[in-house]
Amino acid sequence: MKYPLILLCIYLLTACNNEPKPDTKFITYSGGDIITMSGPLLQYAEAVVIDGEEIVFVGSLALANLKYPDSKQRLLQGRTMMPGFIEPHVHPSLAATILPNEIIAPYDWVLPDRIQKGVSSHEEYISRLSSAISERASPREIFFVWGYHELWHGELSRSLLNELAKEQPLAIIHRSFHEIFLNDATINALGISEKEFRANPQVDWDKGHFYEGGWMALAPKMAPLLLDGSRYMRGLGLMTELIKKNGITTIAEPGFPNINFNGEYALLKQEMDTNPPYDVYLIPNGTQLSSMKGSDENALEFIKTLPTFNTNNITFLPNQVKLFSDGAIYSQAMQMIDGYTDGHHGEWMTPLNVLQKQISLYWNNNFKIHVHANGDKGIQKVLDFVSEDQKKYPRLDHRLTFHHMGYFTDSIASQIDDMEIEASVNPFYLWALADKYADHGLGTERAENLVPINSLASRDISTSYHSDFAMAPLEPLTLAWTAINRVTSSNKRISQNQRVDPYTAMQAITIAAAKTLNLEDSLGSIEVGKIANFTILNTNPLKIDTMLIKEIEVLGTVYRGNSSLR
pLDDT beyond 70 at 20: no
pLDDT value for 14: 43
Please, are residues 469 and 91 in contact by the beta-carbon 8 Å criterion? Answer: yes
Shared-domain flag, residues 97 and 47:
no
Q: Is residue 3 part of a domain?
A: no
| Distance between CA atoms of residues 211 and 217, nearest Å | 9
How many folded domains does the chain comprise? 3
* Averaged pLDDT for residues 363-367: 99
Listed residues 226, 261, 279: the one ending a domain: 226
Shared-domain flag, residues 507 and 563:
no
Percent of the chain scored above 70 by pLDDT? 96
pLDDT beyond 70 at 18: no
Q: pLDDT tens, 52-84? A: 999 999 999 999 999 999 999 999 999 999 999
Shared-domain flag, residues 500 and 542:
no
Q: Is residue 85 part of a domain?
A: no
Mean pLDDT value across the chain: 95
Dihedral angle, C-alpha 157, 342, 338, 455, nearest 10 °: 80
Domain of 40? 25-78+531-566
Shared-domain flag, residues 71 and 159:
no
Shared-domain flag, residues 295 and 435:
yes
CATH label of the domain that carries residue 55: 2.30.40.10
CATH label of the domain that carries residue 116: 3.10.310.70
pLDDT beyond 90 at 307: yes
Percent of the chain scored above 90 by pLDDT? 92
Q: pLDDT tens, 208-264? A: 999 999 999 998 898 888 888 899 999 999 999 999 999 999 999 999 999 999 999
Q: pLDDT tens, 154-206? A: 999 999 999 999 999 999 999 999 999 999 999 999 999 999 999 999 999 99
Reduced to 3 states, what is the DSSP secondary structure of residue 218?
A: helix
Shared-domain flag, residues 386 and 248:
yes
Neighbours of 545 (CB within 10 A): 8
Reduced to 3 states, what is the DSSP secondary structure of residue 367?
A: coil
Q: Is residue 10 part of a domain?
A: no
pLDDT beyond 80 at 480: yes
Q: Is residue 356 part of a domain?
A: yes
Shared-domain flag, residues 490 and 559:
no
Q: pLDDT tens, 22-57? A: 446 999 999 999 999 999 999 999 999 999 999 999
Please, are residues 176 and 331 in contact by the beta-carbon 8 Å criterion? Answer: yes
Closest CA to 555 of 79, 72, 225, 54: 79
* Averaged pLDDT for residues 119-144: 96
* Averaged pLDDT for residues 516-523: 99
Q: Is residue 12 part of a domain?
A: no
Shared-domain flag, residues 61 and 171:
no
Q: Is residue 339 part of a domain?
A: yes
Q: Is residue 562 part of a domain?
A: yes
Please, are residues 92 and 280 in contact by the beta-carbon 8 Å criterion? Answer: yes
| Distance between CA atoms of residues 34 and 500, nearest Å | 22
Reduced to 3 states, what is the DSSP secondary structure of residue 141?
A: coil
